[in-house]
């Protein structure tokens, strides 16, 4: 662990953040690619109903990320803070408890999805043309594949919390590559025509199972020379640790849940205009994930560095990590605005050949892309509050962004401007959110007695 302490305490800011963030960014991008791969390969059928079915299930799939965030973000940030304070034994107990709680809740979620699958998909906006495809995709990706996804994402957070970002990222990346390889095999070779959605779902499920096996092996090997543990050994974390896990983990999960809820609202509003519009906006919501996943990778790399230096009392180094990471993320976001606006038609055509879907998608993507830098500012502030254990601030930032601004403006703009109002909502909502988030950030600095500054 000495080399990791050097990384946390002494290494240069760009190099330390690069060591932690580059693997996280790589895994985020490959995870994005394999999420896009299902849509891309399904899009080869030029069947907008199949494409729409994948888009409808995405919010349900994101609920697995909600669950893993409770224990991954809550437990991971706590482990980094405990190590920073020299409480390694308690960090070990926290790591084991988080894994088993994630598995238990994940199993309950998968069972629930099995019993409410059809009515839930109808609630999300599945038409008669889309419903059966959505059922196929949800059964294999969420009902059967949900527990492996929750386990893998929780373990990856544990590994990142102790500086093993590359091992965490390799596992997630491996799953992405495997999914891309298996998609065309199941969709166009093994299964008959008309079962392409089922083929994509099977490929995703198998990939996630392989990743889970990798993380079981990696986690057990990490027990030899790190604080991570898989077995409880009769000892449980303290009440204060459980409080800290849920104090950060639940707000982190609520943030993803509300983001998911916003996508559900977008899908339902879009579905009211027709399956073509739903398919187009589904592609746009996935395509825009490129800069957002890069930004999330930067934030995931920052979190352990921020948490460790916060707990060890090195506020200056903590601030330097936050400012440098934020500057890099903003630069990437602005670059992507320019590229997305110019190449929007080509991006849509890469996913589907249907001319009407491409036409709508081009308009949607050119509107949505302007919000990219603002979304990164929102994400970075949420991850900062999680890193320093400010779960309440993280919770309110998520509520303000989605419940106070995003969702109400979605309904308002949909009523005033139609389908284009839906896609212009994000930039308007995030302008207000960024202003509020910096007010909250200034309040945190004041309450901690830190010097004022951005």
pLDDT tens digits along 108-166: 999 999 998 889 888 877 778 888 888 988 999 899 989 999 999 899 888 888 888 78
Beta carbons within 10 angstroms of residue 337's beta carbon: 16
Residue with tokens 């990320």: 65
CA 451 to CA 453: how far, in whole Å?
A: 6
Give percent of the chain above pLDDT 70. Answer: 96
d(CA 24, CA 302): 10
Residue 56: predicted pLDDT: 78
Question: Highest-confidence range of 62-76, 121-135, 183-197, 335-349, by mean pLDDT?
Answer: 335-349
Phi, psi of 56 (to 5 degrees): -65, -35
pTM, full prediction: 0.75
Lookup: tokens for 253: 């999960």
Is pLDDT at 448 greater than 90 in this prediction? no
Largest separation between any pair of C-alpha atoms in the chain: 65
Residue whose C-alpha is closest to residue 64's, from 261, 233, 257:
257
CB 291 within 8 A of CB 332: yes
In sequence order, the 6+-apart residues with CB closer than 8 A to the CB of 123 are none
The answer to whether 391 touches 247, Cβ cutoff 8 Å, is: yes
Q: Name which of 209, 70, 199 is nearest 147 in CA terms.
A: 209
Cα–Cα distance measured from residue 373 to residue 370, given in angstroms and rounded to the nearest whole number: 7
pLDDT digits (tens, 9 = 90+) for 18-56: 888 887 787 777 767 766 677 778 777 777 788 778 777
pLDDT tens per residue across span 173-205: 888 888 888 988 998 888 888 888 888 889 989
Span 229-274, pLDDT tens digits = 887 766 788 889 999 899 888 888 888 788 878 888 888 888 888 8
Q: What region, left, alpha or beta, does residue 388 occupy, with left being phi > 0 and alpha being psi -120 to 50 degrees?
A: alpha
pLDDT band at 2; cut points 50, 70, 90: low
């Amino acid at each position: 662990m000495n080399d990791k302490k050097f990384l946390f305490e002494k290494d240069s800011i760009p190099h330390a953040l690069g060591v932690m963030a580059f693997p996280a960014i790589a895994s985020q991008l490959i995870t994005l690619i394999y999420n896009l791969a299902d849509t891309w390969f399904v899009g080869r059928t030029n069947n907008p109903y199949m494409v729409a079915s994948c888009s409808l299930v995405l919010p349900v799939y994101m609920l697995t990320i909600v669950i893993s965030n409770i224990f991954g973000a809550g437990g991971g940030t706590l482990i980094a803070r405990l190590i920073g304070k020299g409480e390694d034994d308690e960090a070990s107990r926290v790591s084991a408890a988080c894994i088993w709680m994630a598995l238990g809740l994940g199993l309950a979620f998968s069972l629930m999805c099995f019993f409410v699958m059809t009515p839930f998909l109808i609630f999300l906006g599945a038409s008669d043309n889309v419903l059966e495809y959505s059922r196929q995709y949800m059964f294999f990706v969420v009902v059967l594949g949900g527990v492996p996804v929750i386990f893998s994402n929780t373990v990856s957070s544990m590994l990142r919390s102790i500086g093993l970002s590359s091992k965490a990222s390799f596992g997630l990346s491996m799953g992405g590559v495997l999914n891309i390889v298996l998609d065309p095999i199941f969709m166009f070779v093994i299964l008959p025509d008309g079962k392409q959605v089922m083929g994509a779902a099977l490929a995703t499920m198998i990939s996630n199972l392989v990743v889970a096996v990798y993380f079981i092996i990696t986690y057990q090997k990490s027990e030899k020379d790190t604080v991570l543990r898989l077995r409880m050994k009769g000892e449980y974390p303290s009440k204060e640790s459980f409080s800290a896990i849920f104090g950060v983990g639940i707000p982190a999960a609520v943030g993803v849940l509300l983001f998911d809820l916003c996508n559900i609202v977008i899908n339902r509003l879009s579905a009211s205009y027709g399956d073509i519009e739903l398919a187009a906006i589904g592609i746009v919501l996935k395509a825009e994930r490129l800069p957002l996943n890069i930004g999330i990778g930067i934030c995931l790399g920052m979190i352990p560095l921020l948490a460790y230096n916060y707990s060890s009392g090195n506020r200056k180094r903590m601030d330097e990590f936050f400012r440098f990471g934020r500057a890099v993320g903003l630069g990437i976001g602005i670059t992507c605005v320019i590229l997305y606006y110019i190449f929007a038609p080509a991006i849509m055509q890469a996913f589907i050949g249907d001319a009407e879907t491409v036409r709508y998608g081009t308009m949607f993507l050119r509107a949505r892309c302007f919000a990219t830098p603002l979304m990164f500012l929102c994400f970075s502030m949420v991850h900062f509050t999680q890193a320093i254990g400010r779960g309440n601030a993280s919770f309110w930032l998520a509520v303000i962004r989605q419940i106070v601004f995003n969702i109400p403006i979605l309904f308002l703009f949909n009523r005033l401007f139609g389908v284009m109002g839906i896609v212009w909502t994000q930039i308007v909502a995030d302008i207000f959110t960024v202003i509020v988030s910096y007010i909250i950030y200034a309040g945190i600095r004041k309450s901690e007695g830190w010097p004022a500054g951005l």
